[in-house]
Amino acid sequence: MAFDVQEFKKEYQKTFEELFAYGYEDGSKTEQFIALGDLVRGRYSEDWIQTITAYNKKQEKQVYYFSMEFLPGRMLKSNLLNMGILDCVKQGMEELGLDLDEVARAEVDPALGNGGLGRLASCFMDSIASTGLAGNGNGIRYRYGLFKQKFINGYQIELPENWLRNRNVWEVRKENKAVIVRFGGDVSFTQDEDGRLRVNHVNTRDILAVPYDTAQVGYKNGIVNNLRLWSAEIPYGDEARFSTEQQREEVKRITEVLYPDDSNYEGRLLRVQQEYFFSSAGVQSIVRYFKRLKLDWSLFPDKIAIHINDTHPTLAIPELMRILLDEEGLTWDQAWEITKKTVSYTNHTILQEAMERWPETMIQDLLPRIYQIIQEINRRHIDKKAPLYGEDLTMRTAIIANGQIKMANLAIIGSHSVNGVAKLHTDILVADTLHDFYVMYPQKFNNKTNGITQRRWVQIANENLTAMLDETIGTDWKSDPEDIKILKAHRDNKEVLDKLEQVKLANKRRFAEYARKEMNLEIDPNALFDVQIKRLHAYKRQLLNVLHILDRYLQLKDDPKVNLQKRVFIFGAKAAPSYYYAKQIIKLINAIADLINNDPAINDKIKIVFVENYGVSLAELIIPAADISEQISLAGKEASGTSNMKLMSNGAVTMATLDGANVEIRDNVGDENIFIFGLKSEEVQEYYRNGVYNSRDIYDKNPRLKRVLNLLIDGTIPGVEAEGRDIFDSLVMYNDEYFLLKDFDSYIRAQYEADTAFSDRDRWNRMALMNIASSGPFSSDYTILRYADEIWKIKPQS
Ligand code: GFP
């Protein structure tokens, strides 16, 4: 894939001219990007073909990672990096008078996910290719990604995100690989001459699923895997059946937007359609491939692993059953064995609200045959398990109950592996959330702590740090992230610590520049940058961060000379469109920002920056600039967290509860390099058990906290009369579901310690260094190798 600078320049000019019929100098940034993207795609296509041909020829076992969300971020630089031509192209562009970074920014960042779950899927795709595993992604090509967030008068407004407005240079439409996905219809059975039951599924609404493939380039190893995203279309030649505008709209709608509003029945129905659509299309294409191998069906699990990322693709289980039974004529027992051995499932949350359940009647109408199969799986499960485990426990594990279909139950029963995403999370699944299943299937349960790819999150996002690391410890850490621990040897090396400080400062300047240009905000790069970036959700407790800011505000108001570090609080967060409380918190943060940023008495000792439309690209800008990483969820609620790992890898010091992977981060960096506060998971559990938590009481007895909370309702913060009152009530009157009041004091103490540490530059730089040096084990390369070895049973290509 390599080429030299001169060759590159020639090719780039030629590609540009062929595409646009004029010289590249006259092109827009978007055109310059498209030409470069096309050139790059052409450059890896041979390896892409080669990789797939080799898998097929060797009949290599392949994993298919089914995910409703992928958040790949901009792909240009990551492809260049992985192809090993980033430096060459950068230089070539420069010689042509172009700035690669500027051109790269013209790429639209595809927001095909909400948060950690989708970004994890993309880190995994990178790691699967980079560790040389035969793996494929399977998902949805949403016409519109997650909404674009705007703040108007401090309120979140959602606008459509038309990410395909320019040509998507990376995708390849594969019309010849399209399949039909069927909805609705009538199911009946007839008996063959040989006595076998034949299923007749007629009068269905047929939708064409067209795949768009995107290459997943491995890191300097010549492997190019495939991410397949499906788009819904009217079947060729079937246009007459979709004659009205409404009928055509209904087809388009299936892959129109990510996470349609599911606060109502219509939204939920659409969501199930999406889930079945991409699960069915994916399974059909897998089966089609397997049949080409001409092997016995019993070998299916030796050649195929299907991984379902959360419960969204769970319908892949009954769909595989349907194909094996109805289309391939296998017996129930054969099909069930194959299905279970093929499928594995990751749980990403213990929040009940996120446990998918669908009304039985909805599935019955929309997918009548799939419904029958789910019923039969459920019936057999109960028949088999009730005599062994008793009625009560067995019925608690039933897939169908009270008119609802429980997707997690189906996912666990229909798979051979269930994993949590951090040690603590898996422990909670086993001991509590999924305990009944653990009693039945202890061997299915295992932990796979999440990871992140340092290729994107350090090498691309933080070029300054990368250069400094290369200079200090050599370049091996790039292919073996564990090697970054060598940096620990420099923990007392003043020169290295100073360099690290300079790197951070440069990154903070870069962000300050963004804030100035895009938000018209002046921030001081020498201040402590305190970062919380993640979906807005009550359990993640952005509100606790707010209480701390208000407490600081009061301290400064009381005594402008009080010894507090100058801080810039940076937030990035979207709230789900129907999540009213989260949207109120957004408004509150923006209102507080307005108040404090413009209060001359505060004198810039506190600045609040709430970036609009947070996503992968903004994360790449913010993370390298962070000093503190806020990971302050209520213990036991955050399954893992992954921004914690990205921030740590970039030298931010974590401010954390012992939740999710924070626990493992603490174990790796040591107590002296992290700020831990708050209730522990068992303590929270204990409160749930004995039910004695009383937030009103804390409010009454803690004058400092009371003063802070009263700011929400006493008119100090302009424009939040309703929001302030609702939020105040949720905390004080409705007993503070996420224990913010309980954790307030210890949070404030930890923040005070952070201030003290930051005032000692050497100490702080050493903490930052130790965080970077301890981040290697959180590489998604290792995570994915554990999935491959322990769950999928596939080996890296040699
Ligand atoms: C969810 C969980 C996180 C976890 C990710 C990936 O992500 O704790 O790290 O999945 O497993 F909540 P979010 O969408 O909440 O970020």
Q: Are residues 438 and 461 in the same domain?
A: no
Task: Compute the distance from residue 494 Cα to the ligand 1 centre, in Å.
Answer: 37
CA pair distance 61, 303, nearest whole angstrom: 4
Q: Examine the pLDDT at 27 and tell me if it is beyond 90.
A: yes
User: pLDDT tier at 192 (50, 70, 90 boundaries)?
Assistant: confident
Q: Are residues 519 and 580 in the same domain?
A: yes
Residue 281 falls within a domain, yes or no?
yes
pLDDT tens digits for range 761-772:
999 999 999 999
Q: Are residues 485 and 626 in the same domain?
A: yes
Q: Does ligand 1 have an atom closer than 6 angstroms to the CB of 638?
A: yes
Residue 63 falls within a domain, yes or no?
yes
Q: Are residues 465 and 434 in the same domain?
A: no
pLDDT tens digits for range 394-428:
999 999 999 999 999 999 999 999 999 999 999 99
Q: Does ligand 1 have an atom closer than 6 angstroms to the CB of 639?
A: yes
Q: Examine the pLDDT at 1 and tell me if it is beyond 70.
A: no
Q: Show the tokens assigned to 498.
A: 């100073």
Q: Residues 495-502: what's their mean pLDDT?
A: 98
Check residue 590 and give its pLDDT: 98
pLDDT tens digits for range 528-538:
999 999 999 99
- Identify any residues that bridge with 409 across adjacent strands, giving them in sequence order: none
What does each C-alpha distance from 180 to 258, 292, 587 come to in angstroms? Answer: 21, 19, 45
Residue 699 falls within a domain, yes or no?
no
Catalytic status, residue 642: yes
Catalytic status, residue 534: yes
Q: Show the tokens assigned to 603.
A: 């004198």
How many domains does the chain divide into? Answer: 2
CA pair distance 39, 23, nearest whole angstrom: 15
Q: Are residues 497 and 470 in the same domain?
A: yes
Check residue 64 and give its pLDDT: 98
> What is the predicted ipTM?
0.90
pLDDT tens digits for range 533-553:
999 999 999 999 999 999 999
Please check whether residue 341 is in contact with residue 301, taking contact to mean a CB–CB distance below 8 angstroms: yes
CATH of the domain at 509: 3.40.50.2000
Q: Examine the pLDDT at 2 and tell me if it is beyond 80.
A: no
Helix axes 580-597, 542-558, angle to 10 degrees: 20
Q: Show the tokens assigned to 213.
A: 């493939």
Instruction: State how beta strands 528-533 and 628-631 pair.
Output: parallel
- pTM for this structure? 0.98
Catalytic status, residue 177: no
Q: Which one of 311, 314, 349, 642 is the catalytic residue? A: 642
pLDDT tens digits for range 340-394:
999 999 999 999 888 999 999 999 999 999 999 999 999 999 999 999 999 999 9
Q: Are residues 480 and 334 in the same domain?
A: no
Task: Compute the distance from residue 276 Cα to the ligand 1 centre, in Å.
Answer: 22
**What one-character DSSP code corresponds to residue 295?**
-
- Rg (C-alpha) for the chain, rounded Å, is 27
Residue 206 falls within a domain, yes or no?
yes
How many helices (DSSP H) and strands (DSSP E) are in the chain?
Answer: 32, 23
Q: Is the dihedral of CA 40, 46, 49, 55 positive or negative?
A: negative
Q: Show the tokens assigned to 461.
A: 């996002």
Q: Which of 65, 71, 117, 614 has most ligand 1 atoms within 8 Å of its beta carbon, as the pocket-test mutant? A: 117
Secondary structure (3-state) at 58: helix
Average model confidence (pLDDT) for the chain?
97
Check residue 240 and give its pLDDT: 84
Q: Does ligand 1 have an atom closer than 6 angstroms to the CB of 117?
A: yes
From atom 9 of ligand 1, which residue's Cα is the shortest distance away? 641
Residue 244: Cβ within 10 Å count: 8
DSSP per residue over 332-357, as a string?
HHHHHHHHHHHEEEE-----GGGS-E
Domain limits at 594?
Answer: 454-684+739-778
Q: Are residues 210 and 157 in the same domain?
A: yes
Q: Are residues 445 and 496 in the same domain?
A: no
Catalytic status, residue 348: yes
Q: Examine the pLDDT at 55 and tell me if it is beyond 80.
A: yes
Tracing tokens 């954790």 back to the chain, one arrives at 743
Please check whether residue 310 is in contact with residue 214, taking contact to mean a CB–CB distance below 8 angstroms: no
Closest atom of ligand 1 relative to the 639 alpha carbon: 8
Q: Are residues 518 and 437 in the same domain?
A: no
Task: Compute the distance from residue 421 Cα to the ligand 1 centre, in Å.
Answer: 9
From atom 13 of ligand 1, which residue's Cα is the shortest distance away? 116
CA pair distance 225, 135, nearest whole angstrom: 6
Residue 27 falls within a domain, yes or no?
no
Please check whether residue 24 is in contact with residue 16, taking contact to mean a CB–CB distance below 8 angstroms: yes
Q: Which one of 90, 646, 742, 766 is the catalytic residue? A: 646
Helix (H) or strand (E) holding 208: strand 205-217
Tracing tokens 């995910």 back to the chain, one arrives at 67
User: pLDDT tier at 336 (50, 70, 90 boundaries)?
Assistant: very high
Check residue 135 and give its pLDDT: 98
**How many angstroms separate the most distant Cα atoms in the chain?**
93
Closest atom of ligand 1 relative to the 534 alpha carbon: 16
Task: Compute the distance from residue 116 Cα to the ligand 1 centre, in Å.
Answer: 4
Q: Which one of 499, 537, 540, 567 is the catalytic residue? A: 540
Q: Are residues 470 and 520 in the same domain?
A: yes
Range from 258-267, 389-398, 541-550, 674-683 carrying the lowest mean pLDDT: 258-267
Residue 53 falls within a domain, yes or no?
no
Check residue 280 and give its pLDDT: 98
Q: Show the tokens assigned to 31.
A: 């055109």
Residue 399 falls within a domain, yes or no?
yes
Catalytic status, residue 57: no
Q: Are residues 375 and 517 in the same domain?
A: no
Closest atom of ligand 1 relative to the 116 alpha carbon: 16
Q: Residues 474-493: what's their mean pLDDT?
A: 98
Task: Compute the distance from residue 687 Cα to the ligand 1 centre, in Å.
Answer: 24
Instruction: State how beta strands 171-173 and 205-217 pair.
Output: antiparallel
Q: Which one of 74, 148, 455, 534 is the catalytic residue? A: 534
Q: Which one of 143, 348, 478, 587 is the catalytic residue? A: 348
Q: Does ligand 1 have an atom closer than 6 angstroms to the CB of 450?
A: yes
Closest atom of ligand 1 relative to the 537 alpha carbon: 15
What does each C-alpha distance from 58 to 50, 51, 61, 293, 303 come to in angstroms? Answer: 12, 11, 9, 10, 11
Q: Residues 182-202: what's their mean pLDDT?
A: 92
Task: Compute the distance from residue 255 Cα to the ligand 1 centre, in Å.
Answer: 23
Q: Are residues 464 and 343 in the same domain?
A: no
Residue 608 falls within a domain, yes or no?
yes
Closest atom of ligand 1 relative to the 660 alpha carbon: 8
Measured at the CA of 237, the angle between CA 232 and CA 242, to 5 degrees, comes to 60
Residue 480: Cβ within 10 Å count: 12
- Dihedral Cα 339, 345, 351, 352, nearest 10 deg: 0
Check residue 658 and give its pLDDT: 98
